Structures are given as structure tokens and as C-alpha cells.
């Protein structure tokens, strides 16, 4: 969908979702309910420096560039680095009323989700100017896309699917379940080889989700990626997944992490 509307005159699409307060404990060792779901270990095969200033919310590699959305009120920003050498090419601070969350690039528009402000911002990827917005209800957490379809998370076990291929976007939802139970706190999202990978907030795990059914087909244990020597007082949780479309490599990082890691999966059961 092309949009060049002004930010003061947003396209209104009502996306309603509800925070789900029940769910499943994703601790592999503690919860036998997850034993029927394959578990994988995230093994580091490479790493590179990553600017600590990023309170990482969204991470995406497109056409030799790494797009990063960084959160917090009054500090939210979008930064674009040349990939893979991580030279900063351009950046912008968002208006102070926005807390930036996930981002994704589709149809020459950079979509940036906001946390509690009910706005999905549309930025020009070349200038990072805000050119429009879409309105929704509820919270915004993670964002990814496949083709002309946007996928949004809100911290519950629900993913919202927004089809942009029609003049009026079509909205639908799926419920994500792990071993038959709701898997909540879904955060940053990435489309990886026909699956949606989702950080599970406040855990060192990533869920592999079937986008047709919402069923979790595997869980990734990413504990121990960032060593103690690299942690400062404000170092926060694992968050940020990006697949390099040129190489197929998967890279992950976290909030105020000084490194990002290329990972491969090793089966645990």
C-alpha cells in the first residue's frame, strides 16, 4: 500500500486486541507441558559490535541496510546502518509523545509501531520523514511482514494480520499456542523461512510460530548469548531478530546490548 498522507491526517484502520493474562511458562526445564514441542539451542557462529544507545525494539535487514527502532519516551529513534559493516547512514528522533516499538519495511514505506499511542507510523525509508499514520486500538509491540501482509504483536498471545493488498486493509487475528496453551508476551517479530519468530518478553527464548495456525512449532533457547562482562546496569532483555535476505543468516541482539549475534539452531530434543 502506498501512503503519502500527512501525519496530521492519518489513515484510520481500527485494530483491536486484548492483553491476555493467562498463558504457559516457557521455561524448558521447569515445564513438562512443553516437552512435546521441539527445543533448539541458539549457537553463536559470529558476532559484531552493535551501538549500546539502541533500546532495541525492531530489527530488519533490507538491501544492504540494517533498520533499527529504539524505544523510550523522549528518546525513541529510527537508525539505519550500512550492512554488514554497521556504519551509521542516517537517523531520526521521533516526536516525544511516541514510544517506538517494532518496525518493518514494505512497499517503499517504513512502518514503525508505537507502544500506547495507537499509531502505526509510516516513514520514508530514505529521509526517515513521517509521512502518515494508521490508527489502532490497544498496545503495539512487535512488527514484521511477508509480501503485502503486516503482522503485529501486542504483548498477549495474539498476532494481528493486516492485509495491505486491497484499498481497505483487511484485519484478522490468530491465537498463538504452545503445547495447547496460550503463549503470551510475544514481542519483536521476524518472518523467517515461512515462520514467524517471536521474542518472548522477559525470557531468553524465541518462539517459532506457524502463521496459518498460530501453533508454536519450536522453541529456541538463547540463554547466555551476552556474557556478564558485556553487561552494564542498564543492559536489558534479549530483543531483536533480523534475517539477512541475501545470505539467510539470522542475527539477534537486545536492548542496550553492545553486540549482535549470528545464530544457528541445534536440536535439544
Express each pLDDT in 243-261 by its tens digit.
999 999 999 999 999 999 9
Q: Phi first, then psi: what are they for 33, rounded to 5°?
A: -60, -25
224 within some domain: yes
7 within some domain: no
Q: Which pLDDT score, from 0 to 100, does residue 23 have?
A: 52
Q: What is the domain extent for residue 227?
A: 33-267
Express each pLDDT in 58-94 by its tens digit.
999 999 999 999 999 999 999 999 999 999 999 999 9
Per mean pLDDT, which range of 9-13, 88-92, 147-151 is the poorest? 9-13
Integer Cα distance of 127 and 125 in angstroms:
6
41 within some domain: yes
Residue 25 — very low, low, confident or very high, per pLDDT cuts 50/70/90? low
Average pLDDT taken over every residue of the chain: 89
Residue 224: is it exposed, middle or buried by C-beta count within 10 angstroms (0-12/13-18/19+)?
A: exposed
Query: How big is the chain, counted in residues?
Result: 269
Consecutive H or E run containing 75 = none
Q: Which pLDDT score, from 0 to 100, does residue 259 have?
A: 98
154 within some domain: yes
- Please tell me whether residue 227 adopts helix, strand or coil conformation: coil
16 within some domain: no
Q: What is the CATH number of the domain that holds 251?
A: 2.120.10.30
Q: Phi first, then psi: what are they for 103, rounded to 5°?
A: -145, 160
pTM of the model: 0.89
Residue 3 has which C-alpha cell?
501512503
Is the pLDDT at 24 greater than 80? The verdict is no
Residue 167 — very low, low, confident or very high, per pLDDT cuts 50/70/90? confident
Q: Which pLDDT score, from 0 to 100, does residue 18 have?
A: 33
24 within some domain: no
Mean pLDDT of 146-170: 94
2 within some domain: no
160 within some domain: yes
Q: How many domains does the chain have?
A: 1
Express each pLDDT in 106-142 by its tens digit.
989 999 999 999 999 999 999 999 999 999 899 999 9
Amino acid at each position: 500500500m502506498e501512503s503519502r498522507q500527512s501525519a496530521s491526517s492519518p489513515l484510520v484502520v481500527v485494530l483491536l486486541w486484548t492483553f491476555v493474562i493467562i498463558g504457559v511458562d516457557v521455561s524448558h526445564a521447569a515445564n513438562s507441558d512443553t516437552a512435546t514441542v521441539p527445543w533448539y539451542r541458539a549457537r553463536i557462529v559470529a558476532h559484531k559490535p552493535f551501538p549500546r544507545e539502541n533500546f532495541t525494539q525492531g530489527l530488519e535487514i533490507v538491501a544492504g541496510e540494517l533498520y533499527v527502532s529504539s524505544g523510550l519516551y523522549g528518546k525513541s529513534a529510527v537508525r539505519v546502518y550500512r550492512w554488514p559493516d554497521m556504519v551509521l547512514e542516517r537517523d531520526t528522533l521521533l516526536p516525544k509523545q511516541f514510544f517506538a516499538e517494532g518496525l518493518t519495511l514494505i512497499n517503499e514505506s517504513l512502518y514503525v509501531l508505537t507502544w500506547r499511542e495507537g499509531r502505526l507510523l509510516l516513514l520514508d525509508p530514505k529521509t526517515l520523514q513521517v509521512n502518515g499514520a494508521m490508527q489502532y486500538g490497544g498496545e503495539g509491540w512487535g512488527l514484521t511482514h511477508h509480501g503485502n501482509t503486516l503482522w503485529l504483536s501486542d504483548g498477549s498471545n495474539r498476532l494481528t494480520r493486516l492485509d495491505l493488498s486491497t484499498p481497505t486493509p483487511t484485519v484478522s487475528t490468530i491465537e498463538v499456542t504452545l503445547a495447547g496453551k496460550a503463549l503470551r508476551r510475544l514481542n519483536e517479530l521476524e518472518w523467517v523461512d515461512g515462520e514467524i519468530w517471536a521474542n518472548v518478553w522477559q525470557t531468553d527464548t524465541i518462539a517459532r510460530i506457524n502463521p496459518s495456525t498460530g501453533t508454536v512449532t519450536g522453541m529456541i533457547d538463547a540463554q547466555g548469548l551476552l556474557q556478564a562482562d558485556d553487561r552494564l546496569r542498564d543492559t536489558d532483555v534479549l530483543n531483536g531478530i533480523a534475517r539477512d535476505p541475501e545470505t539467510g543468516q539470522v542475527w539477534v541482539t537486545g536492548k542496550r546490548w553492545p553486540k549482535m549475534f549470528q545464530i544457528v539452531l541445534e536440536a535439544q530434543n
